[in-house]
Chains A and B, each alone.
Chain A
Amino acid sequence: MVAKQLIWTHYDDGDEWVVYDPFSADIHLLTASARLLWTLVSDEQPHTIHDLVVTLAAELGRSPDDELTAVTRETLSSMDRAGLLRPMPS
């Protein structure tokens, strides 16, 4: 998956992000971790879940365990359903 052109908004009083999709006009509220995950997959390179979990764990200062793997899968799935990702061109 790769990321679409989106408009991101962040304010200094919190770590959440708001993202606006100009194509659908939808707006979503994301945690800082979800935003980090989106950033990782937005480089238009293929990633394995394992690679993403290892990178996220290092960034978040926690172990790349099963719980983080499950949350990562679920977050990617949610972002996909929300239209924040699109399939990478073959």
Chain B
Amino acid sequence: MSPATRSILSLLGTRGVQVAIGPFLVHVRSELTGVRDYLERFYDDFPMAEGGEGHFDLAVVAGRGMRRWVRPQASIVINGARPFLPLPALLAGASMEWGMNWCVGRSAHHWVAVHAAVVERGGRVLILPAPPGSGKSTLCAALVCAGWRLFSDEFALIDPDSGRVLPIPRPISLKEASIEVIRRRDPQVVFGPEAHDTEGSRFVHMRPPSDSVRRADESARPGWVIVPRFMAGKPTTLERLPKAQALMQVTDQSFNYNYLGPKGYTCLAELVRETDCYRLEYSDLDEVLALLARVTAS
């Protein structure tokens, strides 16, 4: 970590720190060492500044009363409100990440947001829209380890005026067996400590590649929409997805196109028109990476 970043982070508990994450400026404040450790480990490459304001104001604060000392807790305060119940203090860093997801999902209505993993290669973006549990973050992490640029493991942000996709690279969240799968694929990848989330699932965060963070202001045109589904023990299949059905899938995974009215819908309809659409079932990452390399090279 650079001395400048260390100096800025020393203000985390007082004036707070402004972090540039893709198109957003996030103001973070916390006295908790867990949050500072988290930022040091995962956000070292991100542009940071002292204090300032942000599109989102996040504070991670210690529990009140007994909860400061006995089974300590942390609460996330977003723009002055506490939308979530307190979490164990061990999850303070992760709670900041989850808070950012909440902010983007609720507030990023300049763009059409789709719940999807997004990566880029050769100036074209691969969008993997899917509900939780479909294996999109695992596939996203494997693609990133294979050299694709990380846009996001959580959101496709699409500019409704230009149709371009904006990067918002952040730590990738991996759960359960995916942790070991990705750890084996690339021993160089930096992971955070393992913990259990609010649903009891074992998870870690994976540090985003420095190059992806450095290029966070480089948007790109969509190239492919691939709807993934992890199917343990099943052979890998990649089939053309009729575009009308692809549009249904993409709108189903968008939580804000309706805020933009017809403009939001038209944005997604044109995204699908512009891209090659597939349905993917997979269980073997090596197979699927080879398959996607062939499809996206053509």
A residues with a Cβ closer than 8 A to B are: 7, 9-11, 13-14, 16-18, 20, 22, 25, 27, 29
Contacts and interface: CB of A to CB of B under 8 A. Distances in A.
Interface in B179-235: none
Contacts of A10: 244
Contacts of B243: 11, 13-14
A18 B248 contact: yes
Interface of B: 240, 242-245, 247-248, 251, 257-258, 261-262, 265-266, 269, 272-273
Nearest to B242: A14
Contacts of B265: 7, 20, 22, 27
A13 B251 contact: no
A18 B261 CA distance: 16
B229 to A, nearest CB: 19
B269 A13 contact: no
Given A11-B273, A16-B244, 6 more contacts: A11-B272, A14-B244, A17-B244, A18-B247, A20-B269, A22-B262
A21 to B, nearest CB: 10
Contacts of B269: 9, 18, 20
A27 B262 contact: no
B224 to A, nearest CB: 14
Contacts of B242: 11, 13-14, 16
A20 B262 contact: yes
A16 B244 CA distance: 6
Contacts, number: 44
A7 to B, nearest CB: 6
The 8 A-B pairs with the shortest beta carbon distances in the complex, nearest first, are A25-B258, A11-B243, A16-B244, A14-B242, A20-B265, A9-B269, A18-B247, A27-B251
B20 to A, nearest CB: 32
B248 A29 contact: yes
Contacts of A7: 262, 265-266
B244 A9 contact: yes
B221 to A, nearest CB: 18
Contacts of A9: 244, 247, 269
A49 to B, nearest CB: 27
Query: Which of A16, A17, A22, A27 counts the most B-chain CB atoms under 10 A from its CB?
Result: A27
22 contacts: A7-B262, A10-B244, A11-B243, A11-B273, A13-B240, A13-B243, A14-B242, A14-B243, A14-B245, A16-B242, A16-B244, A17-B244, A18-B244, A18-B269, A20-B262, A22-B261, A22-B262, A25-B257, A27-B248, A27-B251, A29-B244, A29-B245
A9 to B, nearest CB: 5
A10 B242 CA distance: 11
A10 B243 CA distance: 8
A69 to B, nearest CB: 27
A29 B249 CA distance: 11
A25 B263 CA distance: 11
A11 B246 CA distance: 11
Nearest to B241: A13
Given A18-B269, A27-B251, A11 B244 contact: yes
A18 to B, nearest CB: 5
